Amino acid sequence: MTTIQPVDTAAGADVCCAGADCDLLPAAEADVIADVFKALADPTRVRLLRYLAQSEAGTACACHLPDALGITQPTLSFHMAKLHGAGLVTREKRGRWVHWTVRPEALAGVRGFLDLPTPDQSTCC
């Protein structure tokens, strides 16, 4: 059981940590990044994106995906629509099948966002 210790407010009354010394992420950029995170918030979509990324040339025919991932064709269509809507994949109709391709450049903004500096815990609170 964890015991919560009271904070000694007399020693550091009104201690407040300063905010970041930078501008907030623009709302439009935050929306794009949030859409990517929403698309990747489902394990099936994470698996699909990984499967495509590791496929030859980063592309795969939709005919192979249901069996490879143990899902049905309607489930595949639903999840691929989410990945496509977030701009993570492109589709190309070849005959009766769709070929899906990963868009690595779509993840560049997320990579940059996740490369956050480690906060210095010793200077505040």
- Cβ atoms within 10 Å of 7's Cβ, excluding its own: 10
Predicted pLDDT at 96: 92
Predicted pLDDT at 8: 55
- Whether the full predicted model's pTM is greater than 0.85, yes or no, is no
Q: Which residue has the tokens 């005959």?
A: 95
Tell me: the pLDDT tens digits for 16-46?
776 777 778 889 988 989 999 999 999 999 9
For residue 37, give every residue at least 6 positions away whose Cβ sits within 8 Å of its Cβ, in sequence order, or none.
Answer: 110
Q: Does residue 124 register a pLDDT over 70?
A: no
Predicted pLDDT at 24: 84
